[in-house]
Amino acid sequence: MYKTNTCGELTITEVGQKVRLCGWIQKSRDLGGMTFIDLRDRYGITQLTFNMETNPTLCEQARTLGREYVIQVKGTVAERYNKNKNIPTGDIEIIVETVNVLNASKLPPFTIEDNTDGGDELRMQYRYLDIRRNAVKNNLLFRHKLSMEIRNYLSGQGFVEIETPFLISSTPEGARDFLVPSRMNEGKFYALPQSPQTFKQLLMIAGMDKYFQIVRCFRDEDLRADRQPEFTQVDCEMSFVTQEDVLQTFEGLYKTLFQKMKGISMEDFPRMTYNDAMKYYGCDKPDLRFGMPFVELNDLLQYRNFSLFNEAELIIGICAENCGNYTRKQLDALTDFVKRPQVGAGGLVYIVCNADGSFKSSVDKFYGQEDLQTVAERCNAKAGDLILILCGKTEQTQKAMNELRLEMGNRLGLRSSDLFKPLWVIDFPLLEWDEETQRFYAKHHPFTAPKPEDEYLLENNPAAVRANAYDLVINGVEVGGGSVRIYQREIQKKMFQVLGFSDEEAQKQFGFLMNAFEYGAPPHAGIAFGFDRMCAVFNGVDSIRDFIAFPKNNSGKDVMINAPSSVSKEQLKELNITVNE
Amino acid sequence: MYKTNTCGELTITEVGQKVRLCGWIQKSRDLGGMTFIDLRDRYGITQLTFNMETNPTLCEQARTLGREYVIQVKGTVAERYNKNKNIPTGDIEIIVETVNVLNASKLPPFTIEDNTDGGDELRMQYRYLDIRRNAVKNNLLFRHKLSMEIRNYLSGQGFVEIETPFLISSTPEGARDFLVPSRMNEGKFYALPQSPQTFKQLLMIAGMDKYFQIVRCFRDEDLRADRQPEFTQVDCEMSFVTQEDVLQTFEGLYKTLFQKMKGISMEDFPRMTYNDAMKYYGCDKPDLRFGMPFVELNDLLQYRNFSLFNEAELIIGICAENCGNYTRKQLDALTDFVKRPQVGAGGLVYIVCNADGSFKSSVDKFYGQEDLQTVAERCNAKAGDLILILCGKTEQTQKAMNELRLEMGNRLGLRSSDLFKPLWVIDFPLLEWDEETQRFYAKHHPFTAPKPEDEYLLENNPAAVRANAYDLVINGVEVGGGSVRIYQREIQKKMFQVLGFSDEEAQKQFGFLMNAFEYGAPPHAGIAFGFDRMCAVFNGVDSIRDFIAFPKNNSGKDVMINAPSSVSKEQLKELNITVNE
């Protein structure tokens, strides 16, 4: 061992001990008579001391060492005069006797500090330096601990981690697959899995009962800021269970994780139907860290000479507490906000609930004080509050009001990253109609079972069929979702028909699963969590990229290793493919 | 929950309890008045009892249920008259009150028994049925437990599991890469990693200190029986360590695993240099469950008129204890064995050590009793033993004698699967000369460091350079290997030169790593274990396929899901590639 201790563990109790430490030079201060070096490793920082009087040669040597040099030092632990209360090793320093330079370092292209001066692209290019920064390093340590806790919990509950293959077949339903040409089978391709969905169902048919896997998945989608072409999923499946069993099991997982990772004891998670989520929050992943639910106002505001409201499919209001004192400028800013194309509202109507019990509104022309009071009562608004109203087509208005509600949550500081509000959203619709292709798509995936009581609707009113499908939402972020699965061949066949598959296509793509259903498939259900997303949510962070050691950029590139890259003609020839000119 | 208990846990203490069980019908016996069904799940088998007298309708129903039907039953636990001592639930049975058929099953294409009648191909096609068999199921459970123990041990030692990317760049050195065309970057390709080698080294440069990952790796090789195009690796790396630290750390891992998985306390693992392994066992992975080391006999047997020996580069013998009574037929069989093309010897010379102290040999013509006695003494042979001698070119002879030694181990029953003999093989040569391409290849990989004391030989006598490279061998199987790495740009550059890379090629393929060496790369070393192989070795089994849930066959095909398969023209067009006609 090059070292006896880490740079994060020596304290006053080790004073007098001879030690060897290794690490990187964080910074160096030359005070003339004394030189101090902060030596850093994964575990912390320890101060090294060099004295010009007692050991001038060594002190001179120390002064030549630049930032990020890797060194090994031998020395003695001593108590510090000027203690640093901010770090665990702040009471001691090392009186250095020898320095061994293990490797020099060029000047790093950005500072290895919590607040670095490096831009995103530069830090990605030198990700190995970026990871030396506390922020990134701690994220990776958190990720490791989270994965250990998940594995220990699930394993303790009798779940078995089973590795499923990465080289599988392409199934065009869903997102785009990454393909892998097969050299040994000319003209054929493997596909990388978008999820182990069919394999975990086969494992249930195989009798494995409780399966999980923390596994990489792949989607060749056009990337948004928070998507990666490869991402990690906590994938789970159980046999002989109902939806209730799944929710209980994984609520148990999350309660344990909140306890172990954040020291928080969580109450039972509330549940909300998909329909209620849309009605009260305008989205299927409401942020419950604050209230401000939507209030429908059609009956109170329509047919009173205000044509905008009269023509609207939906009029909804939210009550922003204690915002009655918003200035003209603030209200204009909110109007600008809702008119942004990403939000998409035509305009904003407001009602100020004055302290004296009167009301002031942008639609005073059309509505009297009594009308406004009725609205205020419906919205549970009290004196000093502000009511914000949007109207229009149902979906558009819900979407816009969802954005406005979240914006108000931000403005009012109601979305603290220390607060965790989980929610099960249940009873999702089974299918989703797509206007463009004029067909139904599976809302969750084609293996999700219709609720037994809705099954009869499948043929004549598919849009009305609900599924035993569920999402776990935390602070407005969907961290995972799942469903009770189809396990009977006939229902799966009907499902493919509704989705517009010919029997032949269904057989070609999913024949192996439908055949498997004929050999004693048990009832089963499952769930999958986005692991990168989980890491981010537990840390109150938006971007998943911060929790991935070597992420790709928005063009799917790894700029550090220059991937993807050109390959040799010989390689392509062996694979029997040609790149189109 | 569909069930209150598993089929593996009810015993005499639960007699009288009302229970619900779910599972598959293993078998059914109709004894006229009574019908018995063995209900099976992942946890075991429980006997269900139906009585024609007390409940004829239910009993009739039970008789209609075929093998592998999935059923749910409600009933009462009762003590059995005819107890079955072979299973934990053998003292009880369930007096069934209701049966709920959850799913029917076609007659399975092979029996779901320990000794199935299904051939390999058929079982692979219906792998979901194969996994229902105890043998395969228990392998998967073992694999899960082993992975948990590995993770807990390494995590407890301060190792951090960090996920490295799967979509990386192709590096032609080493085995063939699987390529993944990039849709967003026309004409460019990702490659699937053969191992996370460069990423784990970058993580060391990033200061992560102790890394591990249980991770899928990919090699597009022509498959032998025990190779898979995708396989799982326990990948590890440490900073500021010597070879000794690595050996100690992972010897600790294996001792723990033997204790936890097999209940065996292991002594310290012996170590052997590569040169000694070749000299005494003719291979770099000696099976130490038995002795029978090679004895060099050149000085005793050469230049005594026997031209075969005189022309030989190497003459070696092994002593087979108590085989002096081998018959002519047995000796002929051994001669046939060594002459097989896979073994490649020209013939076999033997010396029988008779009980009376005399010797009988196939070369009596050339050597007197005294000569033979000297050989016997050198070989530590005693009366009743058999000495087997091979000669020829050094490498060929070592290889053939290795095969013969293992064959004798088998014949003498010295290779028990209950016995575990680990061995560290150390001091591997850094390089290997390839006659065909007339160049050196890295014996381990191009990132392995030369031993500092041999570094001066790199330019003028590369073949003589040894590496701090090591393999862990258990029972003659290499379960893993690793090395101390290069961490200085100049040495890495020299290494690439020795391997015949132009500076340009080296920079293009590994520039990111060599650049990283300039920013404070610490000394580091690592090791990787084949996880599938580990599972097999711990169970005394040769084939890794038995420990993979969904393995591929020797053509790289998954016959269950039909992968690889054809893809649509649209998919290829989007990827901008064409399959050659």
Q: Are residues B515 and B445 in the same domain?
A: yes
Q: Are residues B294 and B263 in the same domain?
A: no
**Full strand arrangement of the beta sheet holding A295-296:** A295-296, A314-320, A386-392, A349-353, A359-361
Highest mean pLDDT among A221-235, B135-149, B223-237: B135-149
Using a CB-CB cut-off of 8 Å, the residues of chain B touching A517 are: 103
Q: What is the pLDDT of residue B223?
A: 73
Using a CB-CB cut-off of 8 Å, the residues of chain A touching B106 are: 518-519
Q: Which of A54, A85, A103 is the last residue of a domain?
A: A103
Question: What's the pTM?
Answer: 0.96
Shortest alpha-carbon distance between residue A488 and chain B (Å): 8
**B63-92 residues touching A, CB cutoff 8 A:** 68-70, 72
Is B6 part of a structural domain of the chain?
Answer: no
Is B127 part of a structural domain of the chain?
Answer: no
CB contact under 8 A, B164 and A216: no
Dihedral of alpha carbons A433, A439, A441, A447, sign? positive
| Residues β-bridged to residue B40 | B24, B45
Is the Cβ–Cβ distance between B410 and B404 less than 8 Å?
no
Q: Are residues B302 and B344 in the same domain?
A: yes
CATH number for the domain harbouring residue A492 = 3.30.930.10
Q: HEC profile for A282-293?
A: CCCCCCCCCCCC
Q: Is the Cβ of A240 closer than 8 Å to some Cβ of chain B?
A: yes
Token digits of residue A487: 């396990």
A–B CB contacts, 8 A cutoff, strictly below: 356
Is B166 part of a structural domain of the chain?
Answer: yes
Q: Are residues B394 and B427 in the same domain?
A: no
CB contact under 8 A, A167 and B552: yes
Q: What is the ipTM of this complex?
A: 0.96
Is A65 part of a structural domain of the chain?
Answer: yes
Distance, in Å, from the CA atom of A136 to the CA atom of A147, rounded to the nearest integer, reads: 17
Q: What is the pLDDT of residue A63?
A: 95
Using a CB-CB cut-off of 8 Å, the residues of chain A touching B4 are: none
Using a CB-CB cut-off of 8 Å, the residues of chain A touching B162 are: 140, 143-144, 549
Q: Is the Cβ of A456 closer than 8 Å to some Cβ of chain B?
A: no
Is A360 part of a structural domain of the chain?
Answer: yes
Q: Are residues A390 and A436 in the same domain?
A: no
Closest chain B residue to the Cα of A103, Cα to Cα = B520
Q: What is the pLDDT of residue A227?
A: 83
Closest chain A residue to the Cα of B231, Cα to Cα = A165
Phi, psi of B466 (to 5 degrees): -95, 160
Report residue B250's pLDDT band, with 50, 70 and 90 as the boundaries: very high
Q: Are residues A171 and A220 in the same domain?
A: yes
Q: What is the pLDDT of residue B174?
A: 72
CB contact under 8 A, B42 and A151: no
Q: What is the pLDDT of residue B421?
A: 98
Residue whose pair of structure tokens reads 């799944």 in the numeric block: A246
CB contact under 8 A, A577 and B576: no
**B536-575 residues touching A, CB cutoff 8 A:** 548-550, 552, 555-558, 560-568, 571, 574-575
Is A4 part of a structural domain of the chain?
Answer: no
CB contact under 8 A, A162 and B177: no
Give, in order, the Cα–Cα distances in Å from A511 to each of A440, A508, B196.
Answer: 21, 6, 35
Shortest alpha-carbon distance between residue A307 and chain B (Å): 48
Of A207, A517, A550, which has the smallest distance from its Cβ to B165's Cβ? A550
Q: Which one-letter amino acid corresponds to residue B483?
A: S
Report residue B225's pLDDT band, with 50, 70 and 90 as the boundaries: low
Q: Is the Cβ of A487 closer than 8 Å to some Cβ of chain B?
A: yes
Select from A320, A278, A313 the least CA-distant residue to A297: A313
Q: Are residues B368 and B446 in the same domain?
A: no
| Percent of chain B scoring above 90 in pLDDT | 91
Q: What is the mean pLDDT of each run of 10 residues along chain A (581 residues)?
A: 96 98 97 95 98 94 96 98 94 97 97 92 96 97 98 98 97 85 94 96 97 97 82 98 98 98 97 98 98 97 92 97 96 97 94 96 94 96 97 96 98 96 97 90 92 92 95 97 96 92 88 95 98 97 94 93 92 92 78
Distance, in Å, from the CA atom of A159 to the CA atom of B33, rounded to the nearest integer, reads: 40
Q: Are residues B519 and B544 in the same domain?
A: no
Phi, psi of A573 (to 5 degrees): -65, -45
CATH number for the domain harbouring residue B329 = 3.30.1360.30
Distance, in Å, from the CA atom of A181 to the CA atom of B563, rounded to the nearest integer, reads: 11
Is B273 part of a structural domain of the chain?
Answer: no
CB contact under 8 A, B549 and A203: yes
Q: What is the pLDDT of residue A171?
A: 82
Of the residues A519, A534, A573, A574, the best mutation for testing chain B's interface (the one with the most B CB atoms within 10 Å of its CB) is A519
CB contact under 8 A, B516 and A179: no
Of A128, A164, A512, which has the smallest distance from its Cβ to B205's Cβ? A128
Give the structural domain span for A516.
422-523
Select from B300, B268, B238, B271 the least CA-distant residue to B472: B271
Peptide bond before residue B564 is cis, with ω within 30 degrees of 0: yes
DSSP string, A161-182: E-PPPSSB----SSSPPPEEE-
Q: Are residues B161 and B245 in the same domain?
A: yes
Total domains in the fold of chain B: 4
**B184-213 residues touching A, CB cutoff 8 A:** 184-192, 198-199, 202-203, 205-209
CB contact under 8 A, B137 and A208: yes
Q: Are residues A241 and A143 in the same domain?
A: yes
Q: What is the pLDDT of residue B345?
A: 93
| H or E, element range at A46 | strand A44-51
For helices A134-156 and A531-538, angle between their N-to-C axes, nearest 10 degrees: 120
Compute how many other C-beta atoms are within 10 angstroms of the C-beta atom of residue A368: 11
For helices A394-411 and A328-339, angle between their N-to-C axes, nearest 10 degrees: 140
Shortest alpha-carbon distance between residue B342 and chain A (Å): 25
Distance, in Å, from the CA atom of A533 to the CA atom of B197, rounded to the nearest integer, reads: 27
Q: Which of A62, A83, A103 is the last residue of a domain?
A: A103
Q: Coil, helix or strand for A579?
A: strand
Of A132, A163, A516, which has the smallest distance from its Cβ to B128's Cβ? A516
Is A497 part of a structural domain of the chain?
Answer: yes
What does the buried/exposed string (b/e) look like for A260-276 if buried means 16 or more CB atoms within 10 Å of the residue's CB?
bbeeeebeebeebebee
CB contact under 8 A, A240 and B548: no
Q: Which of B82, B103, B124 is the last residue of a domain?
A: B103
Lowest mean pLDDT among A143-157, A353-367, B6-20, B493-507: B493-507
Cα first-last separation, chain A: 55
Q: Are residues B435 and B395 in the same domain?
A: no
Q: Are residues B53 and B172 in the same domain?
A: no
- Report the pLDDT averaged over residues B310-315: 96
Lowest mean pLDDT among A203-212, A409-418, B112-121, B524-533: B112-121
